[in-house]
A and B are shown apart, each in its own frame.
Chain A
């Protein structure tokens, strides 16, 4: 076959494929509604929330895109001009997004639409504002509470956790739980007393701050942080209350949405679990699966004698506090922000208003997806659900916990995400080598943060001027 003919044939084939490629893509041009793309997670509750919005706004069509999640991906896409209209970010990430310049500053607009933090949960403002400017509205807000598995406690004949225990009482309870589980359960049926009581929760209970009031990072001279990390270390290695990340990863997981710890708790591998009550979404799914299985076998839940073969039976209390102090809980939110470069950002505001509205809040509470951003509708649509899951009590506990909630101070020179990354790296090291002294770890983290801060200052002349104005030239030069 002649060369020319081969080449032309190949070219023809590729052209045909190109036509197929052009045609085979999701069709949307025949829809007169304005499309809005929202990047979020694929929690089972999301679909209903989107449909309700579309019903309220027939001229708009909101669509979920959860494949593009990830801070870096969103930033990259938005700066390249192919970003979504709306995207979720967590309260820790707000600094990164503002720095990248992709969030729309809605401070003035929000006021008029009733979205201002003045109408929101007290203590949660920093979740969606940065340096005094507002960059979105919460999809949900919450605080962690202590959820426990009544079946396991019944089995091991340990008393349930009490409301507002001190840390000391908590440790004693967890130790008793651990010892009972060693004695009474077969080897290999690992049940840890607790999951999620990590340094961050302890640090919040001490109402610690990463930054001093002027914005400088303070990790190595921080008694609260030191205490929190030391306790974390003890929980991991001395009292064996919770698994290290590595151990957690080796516990097999079940499929689907939700982190490993949630699934493990639902499977009965942890006695207690620290998390927001939005985890009920996963727990109720497990519960219904268990009920369905029992029905299939024709067994009544009350007839079961072994507690752990019963379906999930949960309880919830406030997270323990340190003696002599008020409790402190970190408020976090999943915030929806608007891409400043989106051509449809005005229309996207309608979505933020929806988030502050009654319809959405009801849906949120029905699916138990944490608290709505608007405190006025905090109890809208709360349904009791199966008593074994204690939904109403969890709601009450969460509302109570919100009273003690607060969010960490920010700094113009560093982002909270950097702090968390620096400390997490040290936690990794701690878990890998328990003999490392904790103050040394904090010193490393502090040095790392100072290094990052210096790079930020070097790149941003305005910021550098501000730093020198606040701390002086010698402080700048003493940075690594």
Chain B
């Protein structure tokens, strides 16, 4: 256990960590620069201009036009959280129910249907996007919250993940429950679901994160400003005020901070979830 060798390794790791975080540092520094300093090499401005955040949040006017920016950050945040929340809730619920059916119940054709589920996971997302959009048009759900939530509320991946998990739970628990007189629904809710907790939490994090950052589907579905999620909002921000880098960076910082906090808090569950979903030795 060579302490200087360890220190050497630490040194290398720190350098790599600096490289990885450098873009973020630049982002934070630029977000408080006044416009004419954006082009300078320095990370920090010589005259800090934290008013950029006020401008982005519509609390103070844009120095170029004298008007408030035409954005609605709080609404975008709300939309992203709201939609991702519903999608996660629905997806985990339906996937857990379906996983139970695949893992614990015996019924004709079960394994064949499961292989069908797996097969569809291989199909690229773009394939389904166009017809799914047409279906939404005929259902009249374009440009609505439902249109953003419902198609994403089902996932073959979630079903797969939870089924693998549930298979690993010993049958003895089921048997004990049935001896106590529980039917399938009760077994599911009281026994299997709590025991699948790590898998459920991992799936929740993945789903929430994936939906929070999803860009293509909201882009296509959303027309009204008040339905925009953060990625789509940032796209329109870029289109309208793209020349004002410092504002874009301030907005980006506001987007990224909650993700960082979420990550630091959820680190442990997230890592174990990835290891679950990956290859077992």
A and B: real partners?
yes
> Contact between A14 and B65 (Cβ–Cβ < 8 Å)?
no
- Of all chain B residues, the one with the shortest Cβ separation from A73 is B223
The residue on B at minimum CB distance from A47 is B67
Asked if A256 and B223 sit within 8 Å, CB to CB, the answer is: no
Smallest CB-CB separation from A252: which chain B residue?
A: B39
B263 to chain A, nearest CB (A): 21
Inter-chain contact B85/A17, CB cutoff 8 Å: yes
Judging by beta carbons under 8 Å apart, are A3 and B193 in contact?
yes
* Beta-carbon contacts under 8 Å, B219-235 to A: 220, 223, 225-226
How many Å lie between the Cα of A24 and that of B77 in the bound state? 13
With CB as the reference atom, state the residue of chain A lying closest to B227.
A25
Query: CB distance B137 to A81 under 8 Å?
Result: yes
Q: Does A186 touch B at the CB level, under 8 Å?
A: no
Contact A11 to B65, CB < 8 A, known contacts A81-B137, A82-B223, A255-B241: no
Q: How far is the CA of A65 from the CA of B137 in the complex (A)?
A: 22
Answer yes or no: B114 CB below 8 A from chain A CBs: no
A254 within 8 A of B: yes
Question: Which residues of A lie under 8 Å from residue B93 when comparing CB positions?
Answer: 7
Interface pair B86/A14, CB less than 8 Å apart: yes
Q: How far is the CB of A190 from chain B (nearest CB, A)?
A: 14
Determine which of A13, A14, A17, A26 lies in contact with B226 in the assembled complex, contact meaning CB atoms within 8 Å.
A26
* A76, B220: Cβ atoms closer than 8 Å: yes
Which residues of chain A are near B244, meaning CB under 8 Å? 255-256
Q: Is the CB of A20 within 8 A of B223?
A: no
Residues in chain B near residue A260, CB distance under 8 A: 243
- Residues A47-82 near B (CB distance < 8 A): 65, 67-68, 76-77, 80-82
Is B213 interfacial (CB-CB < 8 Å)? no
> Is the CB–CB distance between A42 and B240 below 8 Å?
yes
A-side interface residues, number (CB < 8 Å): 33
Taking CB atoms, residues of chain B closer than 8 Å to A68 are 223
B contact residues around A246 at 8 Å (CB): none
Known: A14-B85, A254-B64. A24 touches B243 (CB 8 A): no
- Residue on B with the closest CB to A22? B145
B75 contacts A by Cβ under 8 Å: yes
Query: What is the chain A residue whose CB lies nearest that of B236?
Result: A67
> Are A256 and B65 CB-contacts (below 8 A) given A42-B240, A67-B236, A80-B137?
yes
* CB of A432, distance to nearest CB on chain B (Å): 23
* Interface: B70 (CB within 8 A): yes
For chains A and B in complex, what number of residue pairs have CB atoms within 8 angstroms? 74
Chain B residue nearest to A7 in the complex (CB): B93
- Minimum CB–CB distance from B147 to chain A (whole Å) comes to 10
Give the interface residue-count category, chain B. Answer: 20 to 34
Any B CB within 8 A of the CB of A21: yes
A23 CA / B133 CA spacing, docked (Å): 26
Contact A20 B89 (CB under 8 A): no
- Interface residue? B111 (CB, 8 A): no
- Whether the Cβ atoms of B85 and A44 lie closer than 8 Å is no
Closest approach, in angstroms, between the C-beta of B84 and any C-beta of chain A? 11
B190 touches A3 (CB 8 A): yes
A14–B89 touching, CB < 8 Å: yes
Interface residues of A in 1-31 (CB under 8 A from B): 2-4, 7, 10-11, 13-14, 17-18, 20-21, 24-26
Q: Is the CB of A20 within 8 A of B78?
A: yes
Please tell me which one of the listed residues A2, A13, A65, A82 contacts residue B143 in the complex, with CB atoms under 8 A apart: A82
Do A3 and B220 touch across chains, with their CB atoms under 8 A apart? no
Q: Which of A10, A24, A76, A263 contacts B89 (CB 8 A)?
A: A10
Which one of A18, A21, A253 has the highest number of Cβ atoms from chain B below 10 Å of its Cβ? A21
**B226 to chain A: which residues have CB within 8 Å?**
24-26
Point out the residues of chain B lying under 8 angstroms from A82, CB to CB: 142-143, 223
Within the assembled complex, what's the spacing in Å between the Cα atoms of A119 and B82? 53
Give B195-234 as 1s and 0s: 1 = Cβ < 8 Å from A's Cβ atoms.
Answer: 0000000000000000000000000100101100000000
CA distance A25 to B244 in the complex (A): 28
For window 108-155 of chain B, which residues contact chain A by CB distance below 8 Å?
A: 133, 137, 140, 142-143, 145
Taking a contact as CB atoms under 8 Å apart, the answer to whether B243 and A255 are in contact is yes
B89 touches A255 (CB 8 A): no
Docked complex Cα distance between A2 and B194 (Å):
8
The residue from B70, B85, B243 contacting A42, defined by CB atoms under 8 A apart:
B70
CB pair A24 B65 closer than 8 Å: no
- A21 close to B193 (CB less than 8 A): no
Structural contact, B223 and A255, CB atoms closer than 8 A: no
13 contacts between A and B (CB under 8 A): A3-B189, A4-B189, A14-B85, A17-B78, A17-B82, A17-B85, A17-B86, A21-B82, A24-B75, A77-B143, A81-B142, A82-B143, A254-B64
Extra 18 A-B pairs, beta carbons < 8 Å, given A21-B82, A81-B137? A3-B189, A3-B190, A7-B93, A11-B89, A17-B85, A18-B86, A21-B78, A21-B145, A24-B75, A25-B226, A42-B70, A44-B65, A67-B236, A80-B133, A80-B143, A81-B142, A254-B35, A257-B65
Lowest 8 CB-CB distances: which A-B pairs, in order?
Answer: A255-B244, A82-B143, A255-B64, A253-B243, A256-B64, A80-B137, A255-B243, A80-B142
